[in-house]
Each structure stands twice: as structure tokens, then as C-alpha cells.
Amino acid sequence: HIVINPASQIPTVGASGAIAGVMGAYLLLFPRARVVTILPLRPVEVPAVVFLGIWFAIQLYSGTVSLATDGARAGGVAWWAHIGGFIVGVLWALLLRRFNPNQLSEQRQRSYRYYDDYNDWR
């Protein structure tokens, strides 16, 4: 917050940057995963890479717009904390993959398992 807007008199409090970091790491650790999102008509399953790509683009656009305005129009949202957190999460995941790729591969395979109609893992 201080780097992007050093003249700000408004403190930044929250965990949204850390949550964005988890999302960035998820994108790299589970690239083929699908997530359920709720659209106006019904829940829809989409690839995580699509969902998170759109989410990141929205954050980047909103952060850029907040720089071009007086900042008050940002609505108190720390867009750049989201962007920075996401990027740090991606970098962290790259480090994790580099140091222990076999364990991550096993975790990735388990993440694609699901319960069938009889509550058995598939």
C-alpha cells in the first residue's frame, strides 16, 4: 500500500492479499482443476485457469483505474494488495514445484479424485 500510494491517509487492513496469494498458488499447483462458480441462472463448473485469469484481469483493471483516479473511487478495496498477493502466490508455487515435484504430483492426482454416487473415491 505504501509503495503504490505513499500519500494515502487511509490504512489498509485485511487478509485479501493473502487469500489472493493462495489463489495464485492454486492456479499453478492444480492447473487442470475445475471450480464451481455461481452465475445468475445456476452454478457452473469452469476451469480454474479461466476463473482465476478473469479474476486477475478484473483486479488489474480495477487497480489501474484506481491509480488514474483520486483513490476515493476505489471503494476502500486494496486492488494492488490482491495483485501483489496473487503474484507472490504464483512465485511461491514455482518454488514449491522446484523443490519437491514428486510429492506435488501425487497431491495433484488426489485433487482430481471425486466421490461417485455410492460415496466411493474414484
Number of domains in the chain: 1
The answer to the question of residue 40 being in a domain is: yes
The answer to the question of residue 54 being in a domain is: yes
* Residue 105 pLDDT class (50, 70, 90 cuts): low
Measured CA to CA, the distance from residue 83 to residue 56 in angstroms comes to 7
Longest dimension (CA), the chain: 59
The answer to the question of residue 105 being in a domain is: yes
The answer to the question of residue 116 being in a domain is: no
Query: Is residue 114's pLDDT more than 90?
Result: no
The mean pLDDT of 47-70, rounded to a whole number, is 89
The mean pLDDT of 74-83, rounded to a whole number, is 81
Task: Tell me which residue range forms the domain holding 98.
Answer: 16-111
30-57 residue pLDDT tens = 888 888 888 888 888 889 999 999 999 9
The answer to the question of residue 99 being in a domain is: yes
pTM over 0.85: no
> Angle at Cα 33 formed by Cα 86 and Cα 103, nearest 5°?
85
